[in-house]
A and B are shown apart, each in its own frame.
Chain A
Amino acid sequence: MLKDITIGQYYPSESVVHKLDPRLKIILTLVYIVAIFLIRNFWGFLLLAVLSILLCKVSKIPVGFLLKGLKPLAVLMVITALLNLFMTDGKILWQLGFLKITQEGIILSAFMLLRILFLVMGTSFLTYTTTPITLTSGIESLLKPFSKIGVPSHEIAMMMSIALRFIPTLIEETDKIMAAQKARGAALSEGNLIQRAKSLIPILIPLFVSAFRRADELAIAMESRCYHGGDDRTKMKELKYGKRDTIALFVFAICLTGMLMLNLLGASL
């Protein structure tokens, strides 16, 4: 069940999107996040939906795979939607005690839902189409100018790539520990919230112990492979900003402008 989490995982394919410069993809993703919050009406989201499907086709990622990544966030999305639905003041449509549904509430919660949806979907394009190591070398390269003021760019990148590498391993491990504790009679999904939280302890402790042991072994393995920090390090895949990146930048700019223009069509919020 935990294996279903696909956020932060690479989907191997040979598409144009995969080949783009990670630095460009990171910057565009950041712009995209900001842009999502600038959308003022449902036309914007409609365009976004169309563009997302197009991007899926171009990057050869199955739409189902993209949607699967949303599953773990379902609870968060429902809570956000409900909070917005019941907590927004405005024209009351329905009321029961302190609970009320307003017209504004419905619109706002739909907006929030769509925002989270597109936020996760859009940003996961970055991790689906970029190998973690390219991604981190992109971050490293973007942070490089800041290393003069003491930002440890190489170390940050290395930590991130190791974290990404170990997500599936630790998930597998968690599954195993859960199965082992269940076999010993642990009741993981029974009782009230506090009891359930307590029953996590026999899962978390072995997981942490094993993570520390892994870290120790990994450090030795890295040293054995001549790791000595970021100095004098070269890269097999050097980042190159090419013609296709410029084209992608233009396409993105056009879509962004289009999206912002749609805001002019009857602002509904």
Chain B
Amino acid sequence: MDIITTEKLTFQYEDSHRKVLENFDLTIEKGKFTALLGHNGSGKSSLAKLFNGILLPEGGKVYVSGMDTQNEQLLLDIRKCCGLVFQNPDNQLIASIIEDDVAFAPENLGIPSEEIRQRVDDALKCVGMYEYRMRSPHHLSGGQKQRVAIAGIVAMRPSVIVLDEPTAMLDPKGRKEVVETIQRLNRDYGITAILITHNMDEAALADRIVVIEKGKILLDGTPKEIFSEYEILKATGLDVPQITALSYELHKAGFPIDSCILSVEEFVEQITKVL
């Protein structure tokens, strides 16, 4: 089943002549972990805001769980169903205490206070930040703050979480924490995850990768399929994971190993056979 569908979606900002997205058709399957890859300015961040009605399409339609984002009556239901996490964790936490921040969305939805308490505790446990619930955000590391931001969305009990470059401002440790959290939400809680990124190693973890270039879909497939298009990716200036690049070059040089290896473990396994 599809959870998000865009039909001939066209969008441009008022103060610019360039179309950010043009006739963009994409369907996101429920329960899957999808990565949207692309350069800065490829239109991927605008797409995230189009998904939950922060931005409205200029042409075409966006449906979230069958709801048209242009229908203002459904706006709250759409946002409840499709949560957005942004790049800078500092600019999305609104309260000075972690648990109050996580409670923000359910409070907006008018949920009774006992249930909010329950949801907040669940959400914080689910991102592994329950012990920090009474702390203030500026005492946390970037990765922890971003996990709190994710908890703030999880507390809405959404079907989809869209993360717009959630790791761009984090150190390697923070990245790992956040990516693991996303994977856990997707795997254990069945939340559809859409990760917008330009980090190839993160994208490699997804079930499906959609590469966006200049407002259009360039490639769409499983990580293996995408990264085997090494030449196309290189031409558009996108990288492949280091280990994939290595395997590709070795394969090209005539070594009998796969041209598209995604993990170090797999590489080790193959290379030991060769040696």
Q: Which residues in A have some Cβ–Cβ distance to B below 8 Å?
A: 10, 12, 131-133, 161-162, 164-165, 168-169, 172, 214, 217-218, 220-228, 232-238
Instruction: Say which size band chain B's interface belongs to.
Output: 35 or more
- Grouping DSSP codes into helix (H, G, I), strand (E, B) and loop, the A interface class, with mixed when no group exceeds half, is helix
A220 touches B54 (CB 8 A): yes
The A-contacting residues of B in range 196-214, CB under 8 angstroms, are none
| Residue numbers in B under 8 Å from A232 (CB-CB) | 110
- Binary interface encoding of chain B residues 125-137 relative to chain A, with 1 for a CB under 8 A from any of its CBs, else 0: 0000000001111
- Do the beta carbons of A131 and B96 come within 8 Å of each other? yes
- A225, B86: Cβ atoms under 8 Å? no
> Within 8 Å of chain A (Cβ to Cβ): is B251?
no
Are B90 and A169 touching (Cβ within 8 A)? yes
> B20 an interface residue at 8 Å Cβ cutoff?
no
User: Which residues from 92 to 141 on chain B have a C-beta closer than 8 Å to any C-beta of chain A?
Assistant: 92-97, 99-100, 103-113, 116-117, 120, 134-138
Q: Is B146 an interface residue (CB 8 A)?
A: no
A217 to B90, CA, bound (A): 10
B222 nearest CB across to chain A (Å): 29
Asked if B86 contacts A220 (CB within 8 A), the reply is yes
B96 touching A165, Cβ below 8 Å: yes
Residue of B at shortest CB range from A166?
B90
Residues of B within 8 A of A172 (CB): 138
Is B261 at the interface (CB under 8 A from chain A)? no
| A236 to B80 alpha-carbon distance, docked (Å) | 18
Name which of B103, B108, B138, B156 has the most chain A CB atoms within 10 A of its CB.
Answer: B108
Q: Measuring CB to CB, which residues of chain B are less than 8 angstroms from any residue of chain A?
A: 49, 52, 54, 76, 79-80, 83-84, 86, 88, 90-97, 99-100, 103-113, 116-117, 120, 134-138, 152-153, 156
Q: Give the chain A neighbours of B91 by CB distance below 8 A.
A: 214, 217-218, 221
Q: Is B79's CB under 8 angstroms from A224's CB?
A: yes
With A131-B97, A224-B54, A238-B113 known, 17 other A-B pairs at CB within 8 A are A131-B96, A161-B94, A165-B93, A214-B91, A217-B86, A218-B94, A220-B54, A222-B94, A224-B52, A224-B86, A225-B156, A226-B105, A226-B156, A228-B108, A232-B110, A234-B112, A234-B113
- Nearest to A158 among chain B residues (CB) is B94
Chain A residues lying within 8 Å of B88, measured Cβ to Cβ, are 217
**A12-B138 CB under 8 A given contacts A132-B95, A133-B97, A233-B110:** no
Q: How far is the CA of A232 from the CA of B111 in the complex (A)?
A: 9
A161 to B86, CA, bound (A): 21
Pick from B96, B106, B110, B120 the residue with the most CB of A within 10 Å. B96
Q: Which residues of B contact A162 (CB under 8 A)?
A: 94
Q: Is A10's CB under 8 angstroms from B105's CB?
A: no
Assess A225 versus B96: contact at CB under 8 Å? Given A169-B138, A220-B49, A234-B107.
no
Between A and B, 17 residue pairs with Cβ closer than 8 Å are: A12-B134, A131-B96, A131-B97, A131-B100, A133-B95, A224-B84, A224-B86, A224-B153, A226-B80, A227-B108, A234-B107, A234-B112, A235-B113, A235-B116, A236-B120, A237-B103, A238-B113
